[in-house]
Structure 1
Amino acid sequence: MTTLYLCHPASLDHATPHGHPERAERIRAIERALEDERFSALVREQAPRAELSVATLAHPEEYVAAIAEASPREGLVAIDSDTVMSPGTLEAVLRSLGAAVQAVDEVMSGNVANAFAAMRPPGHHAERRRAMGFCVFNQAAVAARHARKAYGAERVALVDWDVHHGNGSQDIFWRDKSVLYCSTHQMPLYPGTGATSERGDHDTIVNAPLRPGDDGERFREAFETAILPRIDAFHPDLIVISAGFDAHWRDPLANLQLTEADFAWATRRLMDLADRHAGGRVVSVLEGGYDLDGLSRSVAAHVEALMGR
């Protein structure tokens, strides 16, 4: 099984304030973890730079233009209460979009079985017209839309196991019956969305909130009862994963108790469904995860599962 790993040094150039949890060290920790000989078979490529217009797959042109105009020449510019842009941010987000698009291209073309894009900043909180929650553009949403536009994918399942609800992805796909958005997340917690009653115009939003303190058993139960059956019934042509690892028990921003084994299990279950419906096609994009040890261990388990181990 061939797995593509996409990254780029530009991810390190998106600067955040001192002490901010979404920091360049996250990528360095992942890079160190994937240097292990277990990952020697990974196909490694640097993320290409997407054109700014690629962001319009998920965001209106005026919002995309406003983000570009907000890019500072020096210092930091706040675009949300906890989201900033630095001189390196625009390049980082364009490389992140490029990674998402390249991952879809390689998977949909059959060049690789699946792909993991380890880029920052994350994206799943970015709504159609609003940056928030450390996120500027929504890379997972762009991946889903690119698969439909470029490859004619009729149905895409977007699965989000970040500990925070992906309000941005939900907002983007609320009226889109071609994308099934499924999320497990801690609730109550930022950003305050993600109730089971939030189902979208076409019943293609599936929220499975977890309570503070819930462990892997509860997480797996939510997957088994609420999410996997809906994906199975949806018959997706591609599965996209918003792979946040801040539900790990070590993470400082939440209170779930997942371990690396839980993320590996969820990866394999989604791969089983991809094998059944989508020719094995899975694209994973990094979201949160703010304890460096928990993040690196979880990413390693996720990528090992993608590699068929």
Structure 2
Amino acid sequence: MSIAYISHYKCQLHDMGEYHPEQPARLSAINDRLIATGLDMILRQHDARPAERAQLLHAHGRAHVDAIFRKSPEMGTVAVDPDTTMNPHSLEAALLAAGAVTQGVDMVMAGDVGQVFCGVRPPGHHAERDKPMGFCLFNNIAVGAYHALEQHGLERVAIIDFDVHHGNGTEDIVAGDDRILFCSSFQHPFYPHSGDNCEAANVVNTPLAAGSGGEEFRAAVTSQWLPRLAEFNPQLIFISAGFDGHQADPLADFRLIDEDFAWVTRRLCEQADISAQGRIVSSLEGGYDLHALARCVEAHVKALLGES
């Protein structure tokens, strides 16, 4: 079955400044790599549709959603947290980013495609139920997960987050909801200084020390995530695909390589084939070295395609 690539050029209009690491060039680098490798000819490409307010409210409080709409500037920029600003295009980009994930859910549930990769920004996994944080306005993956549960009637979905930063926002939203299994690996101690005190049974936090590489990461995935996934038997798997654990990334201290991201993707595909009819919806989170990011997305997409 084919794979969809959902993106939108307006996601590149969200701009937090020339020297901000979460920059529009991230999507340009990914798109250029897909073209250079010929993957653009294989993937079914779709423009993202904006998320509806009702979809956002499955994962966020009304006050948070209203605040993001209200703070959207007509010109210039406005800070919504110490690391996150909005320009006049940011709200639309954020709606498209969250909407891409719900659109991906609709596509895999209809059987149009087997897997989806959403090349969107701003990212989402730091956005909590009631506040933006860490480059994120809405929690794209959480919005998609609740769309799958509420609109498509699924009973069990899994969210796998291999970004180098803990998915604090996703944890804040889904902790205690036994319909969702959330697994997050992350450098610890490190921003956002969370993930070490959650007692919710549906959350599997996997902190790893600075300097951890493929051996440590793969061992943790094998011992902690894969057994829980098999037990949980998810009907759809979501991936918060952050590639800032790469050894070339300037913002963190993991030592992962391209193949480590391909490896974990293949393991998730194996579980999806067993319990979810192969259905996976993946969405871009972090990754700030442009060359490494582009290569890792290539490796991730090829693994979704079943290439070794």
**Interval containing the TM-score (normalised by the shorter chain):** over 0.9
Structure 1 residue matching 2:268: 3-state secondary structure: helix
Q: Does 1:73 align with 2:74?
A: yes
Q: In structure 2, what is the equivalent of residue 33 of structure 1?
A: 33
Q: CA deviation at 1:15?
A: 1.2
| Matched AA of 1:109 | A
Q: Does 1:97 align with 2:98?
A: yes
Q: CA deviation at 1:98?
A: 1.4
> Does the CA-based 8 Å contact 1:199-1:206 persist in structure 2?
no
Q: CA deviation at 1:54?
A: 2.0
Q: CA deviation at 1:39?
A: 4.2
Q: CA deviation at 1:223?
A: 0.2
Judged with a 3 Å threshold, the aligned counterparts in structure 2 of structure 1 residues 40 and 178 are, in CA distance, closer, same or farther, namely same
The within-5 A match list for 1:288-299 is: 288-299=286-297
Judged with a 3 Å threshold, the aligned counterparts in structure 2 of structure 1 residues 66 and 113 are, in CA distance, closer, same or farther, namely same
State the TM-score, normalizing by the size of structure 1: 0.97
Percent identity between the two aligned chains: 48
Q: CA deviation at 1:120?
A: 0.3
| Matched AA of 2:169 | G
Structure 2 residue matching 1:225: 3-state secondary structure: helix
Measured in 2, the distance between the counterparts of 1:50 and 1:225 equals 36
The one-character-per-residue Cα deviations of 1:69-104 (angstroms, maximum 9, x if unpaired) are 000001110000001111000110111121011100
Measured in 2, the distance between the counterparts of 1:24 and 1:146 equals 27
Q: Does 1:184 align with 2:185?
A: yes
Q: In structure 2, what is the equivalent of residue 259 of structure 1?
A: 257
| Matched AA of 2:228 | R
| Matched AA of 2:190 | L
Q: CA deviation at 1:61?
A: 1.2
Q: How many residues align?
A: 306
| Matched AA of 1:272 | E
> Does the CA-based 8 Å contact 1:144-1:240 persist in structure 2?
yes
Q: CA deviation at 1:175?
A: 2.1
Q: In structure 1, what is the equivalent of residue 158 of structure 2?
A: 157
Q: In structure 2, what is the equivalent of residue 283 of structure 1?
A: 281
Q: Does 1:57 align with 2:58?
A: yes
CA RMSD of aligned residues (A): 0.9
| Matched AA of 1:305 | A
Measured in 2, the distance between the counterparts of 1:79 and 1:230 equals 36
Structure 2 residue matching 1:199: 3-state secondary structure: coil
The within-5 A match list for 1:1-309 is: 1-35=1-35, 36-195=37-196, 197-200=197-200, 203-309=201-307
| Matched AA of 1:42 | L
| Matched AA of 1:43 | R
Alignment gaps of 5+ in structure 2: none
Q: CA deviation at 1:226?
A: 0.7
